[in-house]
Amino acid sequence: GFKMGIVGLPNVGKSTLFNALTKTAAAQAANFPFCTIEPNVGDVAVPDARLDKLAEIAGSKQIIPTRMTFVDIAGLVKGASKGEGLGNQFLANIRECDAIAHVLRCFEDDDITHVEGRVDPVEDANVIETELMLSDLESIEKRLQNLTRKVRGGDKEAVQQVRLLEAAQATLEEGKPARTVEVDADDAKAWKMLQLLTTKPVLYVCNVEEESAGAGNSQSARVAEMAAAQGNSHVVISARIEEEISQLDAEEAEMFLGEMGLEEAGLDRLIRAGYELLHLQTYFTVGPKEARAWTIKEGTSAPQAAGVIHGDFERGFIRAETIGYDDFVGLGGEQAAKEAGKMKAEGKGYIVKDGDVMHFLFNT
Ligand code: GDP
């Protein structure tokens, strides 16, 4: 599955947000209750109204959303890369994540201490990014040392790694994150394998006071500008509101949102923004027993998509029968779509589209 690491300075609202994420009715939906893998790791259901619609049409007994993992990575402070705070252990946690959800304090509250003694989310973002850059530099130095012998031995992969690490090093030494390095398509895979912290996509989470949960405030506007300039994304959320919503059932939550003048829970937007940031898509399997959503990367082929369900499906893949979401819903289900000629048989080269309803045929 895909993993988002929640980072941020102390007291910005990370735990509040994490607890809300993992406690909501949605997180505990269907047959996949929120499971505590570790105290700071939670699997969260990805809200998707399409799945409910498909289940309704097909009369599915169970609805099984797809999930995304969130990890609460506390302990990141100024000096973390030098072992301050909880230090390097936490940087290692970030390395394992596909993307970073960076919580920024955009609310004023004199009762809640700010570690830097002022509210300035853009500067806070820089503090954390600097730590990540320093950590990247340190790991690059170590790796370059380890690669010297392999390079002398003529190892081609090692030569490529050294070239990429040196490019990253030069950029980081200029004070720029590794994501600003331009990488050729041929190097893209090796580059990703380096798992540098400052190449991970970032979703800034602006934690604003309750009154600003809808439109944001002047601080979140500054973050929005910064995110756009970096090619990252942002969402505006009130962790306090999300905390309250997480304690309500679905109906109460809807009423509460209405009273607050909000269209949907911030967490739903957050999860979806994470999904988009990672270029993820959903396909569905739908039958009388269950309607289920599955997560794939954009550009995934039909056999790879089948492999998300089970490795055997990918190995023995023969073909896929697919119906586009709009056809399935518009025509009123699988049988009707089939009769209208909208069920297509697709081979190994088929690139799955977001919303496809799929059956896989495979050899065992
Ligand atoms: P963490 O250290 O980043 O995990 O921060 P916490 O989630 O523990 O929050 C630190 C404190 O800030 C707690 O007392 C929260 O109740 C409070 N807090 C979190 N979000 C908000 C908010 O939007 N407004 C206000 N006024 N306080 C908040």
pLDDT, tens only, 215-241: 999 999 999 999 999 889 999 999 999
Is 286 part of any domain? no
pTM of the predicted structure, to 2 decimals: 0.87
CATH of the domain at 353: 3.10.20.30
Mean pLDDT, rounded, of the chain: 89
Instruction: Quote the ligand 1 centre to 107 CA distance (angstroms).
Output: 9
Pocket of ligand 1 (CB under 6 A): 8, 10-16, 107, 109, 112, 207, 209, 238-240
Same domain for 98 and 171? yes
| Residue 48 domain-assigned (yes or no) | yes
The answer to the question of residue 151 being in a domain is yes
Encoded tokens for 101: 């959800």
What DSSP character marks residue 352?
P
Q: Which of 102, 107, 112 most suits a substitution to test ligand 1, by most atoms within 8 Å of the C-beta?
A: 112
Residues 6+ apart with CB under 8 A from 22: 34, 36, 42, 44, 70
Residue 214 has φ and ψ, to the nearest 5°, of: -80, -65
With respect to residue 293, please indicate whether it lies within any of the assigned structural domains: no
363 is in an annotated binding site: no
Show which of 277, 309, 328 is a domain's final residue: 277
Do 96 and 212 belong to one domain? yes
pLDDT of 239-283, one tens digit each?
999 999 888 888 898 899 998 888 888 888 898 899 999 999 999
Closest atom of ligand 1 to CA, residue 103: 3
**What is d(CA 45, CA 64) in angstroms, rounded to the nearest whole number?**
9
The lowest-confidence range among 5-19, 20-34, 147-161, 257-271 is 20-34
DSSP state for residue 180 in the 8-state scheme: G
If you take atom 10 of ligand 1, which residue's CA is the nearest one?
11
Whether residue 245 sits in one domain with residue 171? yes
Ligand 1 center to 12 CA (angstroms): 6
Co-location of 260 and 311 in the same domain: no
* CB-based contacts of 68, cutoff 8 Å, min separation 6: 1, 2, 3, 4, 43, 44, 46, 271, 274, 275, 295
pLDDT at 286: 97
Shared domain for 256 and 318, answered yes or no, is: no
Is the pLDDT reported for residue 25 higher than 70?
no
Confidence at 88, pLDDT banded by 50, 70, 90: low
Instruction: Give the atom of ligand 1 at the shortest distance from the alpha carbon of 208.
Output: 23
Residue 104's domain comprises 3-181+194-277
Residue 195 has pLDDT above 50, yes or no: yes
DSSP 298: T
User: Residues near 282 by Cβ (< 8 Å), separated by ≥ 6?
Assistant: 46, 48, 50, 66, 293, 294, 295, 296, 354, 355
Contacts for 105 with CB less than 8 Å, ≥ 6 apart = 8, 9, 11, 12, 13, 114, 119, 121, 124, 207
Q: Which two tokens stand for residue 286?
A: 């739908």
Give pLDDT, residue 32: 41
- CB atoms under 10 Å from CB of 1, counted, come to 10
Distances in Å between the Cα of 71 and the Cα atoms of 22, 36, 139, 190 are: 10, 11, 22, 25
| Calpha distance 203→190 (Å, rounded) | 24
* 306 and 258 fall within a common domain: no
Q: Is 246 within a domain?
A: yes
The pLDDT score that the predictor gives to residue 34 is 41
Residue 304: per-residue pLDDT: 97
Give the Cβ contact number of residue 288 at 10 Å: 10
Same domain assignment for residues 177 and 268: yes
Burial 173-200 (b: 16+ CB within 10 A, else e): eeeebbbebebeeebeeebeebebbbbb
For residues 175 and 97, membership in a common domain is answered with yes
Closest CA to ligand 1's atom 26? 109
For range 87-104, the mean pLDDT: 84
| Cα 169 to chain centroid, rounded | 26
In a domain, 287, yes or no: no
Q: Do 150 and 210 belong together in one domain?
A: yes
Q: Is 13 annotated as ligand-binding? A: yes
Q: Is residue 187 part of a domain?
A: no
Which of 231, 247, 277 marks a domain boundary? 277
DSSP code per residue over 61-110: SEEE--EEEEEE-----TTGGGT-TTTHHHHHHHHT-SEEEEEEE----T
For residue 150, say whether it is annotated as part of any ligand binding site.
Answer: no
Q: What is the model's pLDDT at position 249?
A: 85
Residue 238's domain is classified under what CATH number?
A: 3.40.50.300
CA of 10 to the centre of ligand 1 (A): 9
88-95 helix and 121-152 helix, angle to the nearest 10 degrees: 80
pLDDT in the model for residue 76: 66
Q: What is the ipTM of this complex?
A: 0.93
Together in a domain, 111 and 228: yes
Give the highest mean pLDDT range of 95-99, 114-118, 261-265.
95-99
Looking at 244, 277, 310, the residue that finishes a domain is: 277
Report the nearest-CA residue for atom 15 of ligand 1.
13
Whether 284 is covered by a domain: the verdict is: no
pLDDT of 119: 87
Instruction: Say which range, 116-130, 156-170, 317-331, has the weakest mean pLDDT.
Output: 116-130
pLDDT at 148 > cutoff 50: yes
131 three-class SS:
helix
- Is the same domain home to 273 and 304? no
Are 81 and 140 in contact by the 8 Å Cβ rule? The answer is: no
Residues 64 and 142 in one domain: yes
The pLDDT tens digits of the residues spanning 168-189 come to: 999 999 999 999 999 999 999 9
Q: Which of 105-114, 150-159, 287-296 has the lowest mean pLDDT?
A: 105-114
Q: Domain count of the chain?
A: 2
Q: What's 112's DSSP letter? A: S
CA distance linking residue 3 with residue 50, whole number of Å: 23
DSSP class of residue 162 equals H
